[in-house]
Structure 1
Amino acid sequence: MIGRLHGQLLEKKPPLIVIDVHGVGYELEASMNTLLALPAPGETVRLYTHLSVREDAHLLYGFIDETERRLFRELIRISGVGPRLALAILSGMDRQQFMKSVMEDDTKTLTRLPGVGKKTAERLIIEMRDRFKHWPEFEQMEQGVEEAELPLESDNHADAEAALIALGYKPTEAARMLSGLDTAQSTEALIKAALSDRLAGGDMRSSKGRAS
């Protein structure tokens, strides 16, 4: 079982990253929240991992911290939620937003995530609410304590669209989500802005994200 990797970041092309560990290149899939927290290629990184073993492939997933990995593992225990959908959930919102949606029975926000229908959203709320009760972050949120957002990094518009498609959005939907955003922004910034707008109902654009 591969539990953690420490090495040089070789490639970062959402949702895939490649890490060199003593000459061996490990390819991992990561959530956008993890990708946004990573440094530029060439820097040293340390990621927690989850290995998914299938008949046709061994797939490795990377996480910026143990809490994100724990949430991923809790999600894939839910009926109908596989690794790809769990990664899409972690990419579409940070864990504080997800916990808030669960606490408030907010199926409307959850169904804005790719692959999450009403029944899946209801199942997520029912099953995750009991599990969250023992999480320190959940207790802090109930007391009104919020966590700082993750930092942004760099890349390009076509890669952002490809990443959204890889997360489960249809090509036309991905293009619409990115329309009107400043193409000079990094790939990660574009994806974050598009996902934030999607989460808000598609009606909001920050002044920083508008095309000039």
Structure 2
Amino acid sequence: MIGKLKGTIEEIGSDYALIDVHGVCYIAHCSSRTLSKLGSAGEAAVLFIETYVREDQLKLFGFLTALEREWFNLLQSVQGVGTKVALAVLSTLTPSELANAIALQDKTSISRAPGVGPKVAVRIVTELKNKAPAFAGEAAGTIGLKQELGEGVAPAPVSDAVSALTNLGYSREQAANAVAAALKTAGEGADSAKLIRLGLKELSR
């Protein structure tokens, strides 16, 4: 099994990268987000690899981080999600954005990925909501609050502040991040007016 490739980029295709490792070129299928950040032909590259072995094929999937690879496998545990749809989701959302969307039960964000219809988006949110916190990455510090918001059990001042900020045109994730930051400054007992004011200050930075 191949776990990681370190080599030189030979070619970047529409959905793959060709990596030269000491004269042997490997085709690694990647999300568009990974391909856009990988670099250009002739540059050094490192890809975390998930190896798929089937009766009629051996296929490599490449990722910039181990966390992205974890999400690739996690997504495929959901009924109706195969390698193509998993890559489409990871092309649309970063691992932390995906964890946030699942915690907030934001099916709309997930359904922006090509090939992900409303039913699949609901299954992703439902089946992965308890697993997402372990794979939240940069979002780990605020994932608990977002789960409370998604399940409708967040304290009233918090949910009211998030609602007010979304009504001003911010996304639910942006609003939740701002209110989470405001809570650190104001403390758990702050009222919604204070959270809104501090949240707006966060969003203006």
Normalised by the shorter chain, which TM-score bucket? 0.5 to 0.7
Instruction: Tell me the TM-score normalised to structure 1 length.
Output: 0.63
Alpha carbons 2:6, 2:46 under 8 Å: kept: yes
What is the identity, as a one-letter code, of the residue corresponding to 1:13?
G
What is the identity, as a one-letter code, of the residue corresponding to 2:140?
E
Secondary structure of residue in 2 paired with 1:130: coil
Gaps of 5+ in 2: 146-205
The residue number in structure 1 matching 2:135 is 135
The residue number in structure 2 matching 1:113 is 113
- Could you report, residue by residue, the CA deviation over 1:158-186 in whole angstroms, capped at 9, with x for unpaired residues? xxxxxxxxxxxxxxxxxxxxxxxxxxxxx
Question: After the TM superposition, which residues 196-211 of structure 1 pair with which residues of structure 2 at under 5 Å, given as runs?
Answer: none
Query: What is the CA distance between 1:109 and its match in structure 2?
Result: 2.1
Aligned length: 144
Query: What is the CA distance between 1:140 and its match in structure 2?
Result: 2.1
Alpha carbons 2:5, 2:49 under 8 Å: kept: yes
- Could you report, residue by residue, the CA deviation over 1:130-165 in whole angstroms, capped at 9, with x for unpaired residues? 111223524224379xxxxxxxxxxxxxxxxxxxxx
Higher helix share: 2
The residue number in structure 1 matching 2:84 is 84
What is the identity, as a one-letter code, of the residue corresponding to 1:140?
G
Alpha carbons 2:95, 2:136 under 8 Å: kept: no
Alpha carbons 2:50, 2:60 under 8 Å: kept: yes
1:94 aligns with 2:94: yes
Greater relative contact order: 1 or 2 (C-alpha under 8 angstroms, separation 6 or more)? 1
1:51 aligns with 2:59: no
The residue number in structure 1 matching 2:2 is 2
Alpha carbons 2:85, 2:115 under 8 Å: kept: yes
Question: After the TM superposition, which residues 168-207 of structure 1 pair with which residues of structure 2 at under 5 Å, given as runs?
Answer: none
What is the identity, as a one-letter code, of the residue corresponding to 1:20?
D
1:19 aligns with 2:31: no
The residue number in structure 1 matching 2:192 is none
Query: What is the CA distance between 1:96 and its match in structure 2?
Result: 2.4
Query: What is the CA distance between 1:70 and its match in structure 2?
Result: 0.7
Query: What is the CA distance between 1:49 and its match in structure 2?
Result: 0.2
Cα root mean square deviation, aligned: 1.7
What is the identity, as a one-letter code, of the residue corresponding to 2:24?
V
What is the identity, as a one-letter code, of the residue corresponding to 2:141?
Q
Secondary structure of residue in 1 paired with 2:12: strand
Alpha carbons 2:96, 2:136 under 8 Å: kept: no
Secondary structure of residue in 1 paired with 2:134: coil
Gaps of 5+ in 1: 145-212
- Could you report, residue by residue, the CA deviation over 1:48-92 in whole angstroms, capped at 9, with x for unpaired residues? 000112222111100001010011011112221111110011012
Alpha carbons 2:103, 2:132 under 8 Å: kept: no
Deviation beyond 3 Å, 4+ runs, structure 1: none
Secondary structure of residue in 2 paired with 1:5: strand
Query: What is the CA distance between 1:112 and its match in structure 2?
Result: 2.1
What's the % identity of the aligned pairs?
34
